[in-house]
């Protein structure tokens, strides 16, 4: 899709979680479209795309934690923010299982801090809250559609169910112009969480090591390439500005090609021409939903959004990014 430069030109946009995978790609796209991007940053990571590719030097960085309500309100107020992309979260399922309270604080309290700032400060026209396919919990009937009940059971899933419902409450009760996005697993260059299957597998192959699958490999997931995810968020924000009936809605974004973890791993090995490497299947995953994938019919019909990249093309682009990023560091010492 093409970004509407007239809409974004000189627009004050806050991106929470701007140093993460989606945040870095989205911030760069918005800057290129002419927006004034303000990023809320907790930790400075020199390996992130924000630092390595100079994106952070082209935006205003506000240092603070998403759980710090005053920092969030200051960023929204002082920079007269019109659009908020709320991406900041603790996103790792294993971390959530080990530390549920910090995950609840980041994902739930962080969300109400953003929405409360939008409620109090009159400049905000759109708030896009990043939920997850995991907010749905486990369902018998798949794929998930947006009207499926939200009933997460495990810490990460519950945190996303809660943030999703809080966004709906702020819209319904106070008129905060909020929408919710529910996406599958992002992948693409710049993901530095190497316990995730895509970057972890690529790094293992580059290091001549066997990739590790924590589960039994049979869990089914959605995977969406990061540039398609950026298109999704931009498309939704522009759709909110054009059609008032979009505001307050939740939208799934998916390439609608669910894969088992072992299938994805083998696909990466094939694309890297290393089918001779056999993954280590640990079968140790706990507190995770077995099968989950999304219908993106609503996004197609209401927003005109479609993914531009198939899974193979997205993986090739991702592999190329990590080859350059890891370089000589790919080989073990």
The confidence score (pLDDT) of residue 2 equals 60
Instruction: In whole angstroms, give the CA distance from residue 179 to residue 236.
Output: 8
The confidence score (pLDDT) of residue 333 equals 36
Instruction: In whole angstroms, give the CA distance from residue 154 to residue 173.
Output: 28
User: Hey, what's the torsion of the CAs at 278, 283, 289, 295, to 10 degrees?
Assistant: 10
Q: Give the domain range for residue 166.
A: 5-187+223-253
* Residue 287 belongs to some domain of the structure: no
The confidence score (pLDDT) of residue 94 equals 85
Instruction: In whole angstroms, give the CA distance from residue 73 to residue 88.
Output: 15
Which letter does DSSP use for residue 105 in this model? I
* Residue 54 belongs to some domain of the structure: yes
- Indicate the number of domains in the chain: 1
* Residue 209 belongs to some domain of the structure: no
Which of helix, strand or coil describes residue 65?
coil
CATH number of 76's domain: 3.40.50.720
* Residue 272 belongs to some domain of the structure: no
Which of helix, strand or coil describes residue 312?
helix
Instruction: In whole angstroms, give the CA distance from residue 18 to residue 29.
Output: 12
Instruction: In whole angstroms, give the CA distance from residue 176 to residue 253.
Output: 22
Q: What strand order describes the sheet that includes 83-86?
A: 60-63, 36-41, 12-16, 83-86, 126-130, 178-183, 250-253
Which letter does DSSP use for residue 210 in this model? -
* Residue 159 belongs to some domain of the structure: yes
pLDDT in tens, the chain (333 residues): 567 778 999 999 999 999 999 999 999 999 999 999 999 999 888 888 898 899 999 999 999 999 999 999 999 999 999 999 999 999 888 899 999 999 999 999 999 999 999 999 999 999 999 999 999 999 989 999 999 999 999 999 999 999 999 999 999 999 999 999 999 999 999 999 998 999 999 999 999 999 999 999 999 999 999 999 999 999 999 999 999 899 999 999 999 999 999 999 999 999 999 999 999 999 887 778 889 999 999 999 999 999 999 999 999 999 999 999 998 554 443
Question: Do residues 74 and 43 touch, judged by C-beta distance below 8 A?
Answer: no
Determine whether 156 is an active site residue: yes
Instruction: In whole angstroms, give the CA distance from residue 35 to residue 233.
Output: 15
Question: Do residues 89 and 130 touch, judged by C-beta distance below 8 A?
Answer: yes
* Residue 245 belongs to some domain of the structure: yes
Instruction: In whole angstroms, give the CA distance from residue 297 to residue 327.
Output: 40
The confidence score (pLDDT) of residue 91 equals 87
* Residue 143 belongs to some domain of the structure: yes
* Residue 270 belongs to some domain of the structure: no
pTM of the entire predicted model = 0.94
Q: What is the pLDDT of residues 22-41, one digit of tens each?
A: 999 999 999 999 999 999 99
Options 136, 144, 156, 219, the catalytic residue: 156
């Amino acid at each position: 899709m093409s970004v509407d430069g007239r809409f974004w030109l000189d627009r004050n946009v806050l991106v929470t979680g701007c140093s993460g995978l989606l945040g870095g790609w989205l911030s760069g796209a918005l800057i290129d479209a002419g927006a004034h991007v303000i990023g809320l940053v907790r930790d400075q990571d020199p390996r992130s795309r924000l630092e390595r590719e100079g994106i952070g030097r082209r935006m205003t960085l506000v240092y603070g934690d998403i759980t710090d309500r005053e920092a969030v309100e200051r960023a929204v107020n002082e920079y007269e923010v019109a659009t908020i992309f709320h991406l900041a979260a603790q996103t790792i399922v294993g971390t959530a299982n080990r530390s549920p309270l910090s995950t609840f604080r980041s994902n739930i309290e962080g969300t109400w801090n953003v929405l409360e700032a939008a409620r109090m400060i009159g400049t905000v026209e759109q708030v896009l809250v990043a939920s997850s396919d995991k907010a749905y919990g486990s369902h018998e009937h798949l794929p998930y559609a947006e009207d499926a009940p939200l009933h997460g059971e495990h810490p990460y899933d519950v945190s996303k169910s809660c943030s999703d419902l809080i966004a709906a409450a702020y819209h319904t009760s106070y008129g905060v112009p909020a929408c919710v996005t529910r996406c599958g697993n992002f992948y693409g260059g710049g993901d530095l969480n190497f316990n995730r299957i895509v970057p972890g597998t690529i790094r293992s192959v580059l290091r001549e090591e066997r990739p590790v699958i924590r589960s039994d490999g049979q869990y089914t997931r959605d995977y969406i390439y990061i540039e398609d995810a950026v298109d999704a968020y931009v498309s939704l924000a522009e759709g909110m500005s054009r059609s008032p009936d979009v505001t307050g809605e939740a939208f799934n974004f998916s390439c609608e090609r669910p894969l088992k973890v072992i299938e994805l791993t083998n696909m990466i090995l094939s694309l890297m021409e290393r089918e001779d490497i056999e993954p280590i299947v640990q079968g140790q995953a706990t507190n995770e939903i077995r099968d989950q994938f999304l219908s993106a019919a609503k996004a197609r019909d209401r927003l005109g959004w479609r993914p531009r990249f198939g899974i193979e093309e997205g993986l090739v682009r991702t592999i190329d990014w990590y080859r350059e990023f890891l370089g000589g560091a790919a080989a073990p010492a």
